[in-house]
Amino acid sequence: MHELAVTESLIEAICSQMPESRVAVVHLEIGKLSGVMPDAVRICFASAGEGTCVAGARLDITEPDGVGDCGSCGTSFAARGPLAVCPCGSADVTLSGGTDLTIKAVEVTGDA
C-alpha cells in the first residue's frame, strides 16, 4: 500500500512548513487517475498523523475526474478510470488531467 508513504510525505510537508501550528483541516485534491486511493489515505492520515501537527485534523478530499479525448469522434468526456472508453464506444482515447495529488489548503487553529 503506497498510500502510507504518500500520506507520511504529505504530513511531513505540512508539518515542516508550520511546525508550531495545530492543523484543523487539510484540503487535498486526489485525481481519479492518480492511482491513489482516497479511502486508504484517510485511514493512513489518522494513524500516521498521531503525535504530529495534524493530529486530530479533519481531512477533506476532492476527487476530480480526468479528461478523455476520443481519437475517433473528437469528443472530450470525464474519465473516471484508466481504462476509459468514449461514449461512442471507441477505446482510442487519450487521457489527461486527474493524475495529481495536491495539498489545496491547510486550516490551522489558534492553539499551538
3-64+98-108 in CATH: which number? 3.30.2320.50
Secondary structure of residue 56 in the 3-state scheme? coil
Domain ranges of the chain: 3-64+98-108
pTM of the entire predicted model = 0.84
The annotation status of 86 as a binding-site residue, yes or no, is: yes
Mean pLDDT of the chain: 94
Q: Is 73 exposed, middle or buried (0-12, 13-18, 19+ CB in 10 A)?
A: exposed
The annotation status of 53 as a binding-site residue, yes or no, is: no
The annotation status of 15 as a binding-site residue, yes or no, is: no
pLDDT for 81 equals: 86
Q: What is the pLDDT of residues 54-73, one digit of tens each?
A: 999 999 999 999 999 999 99
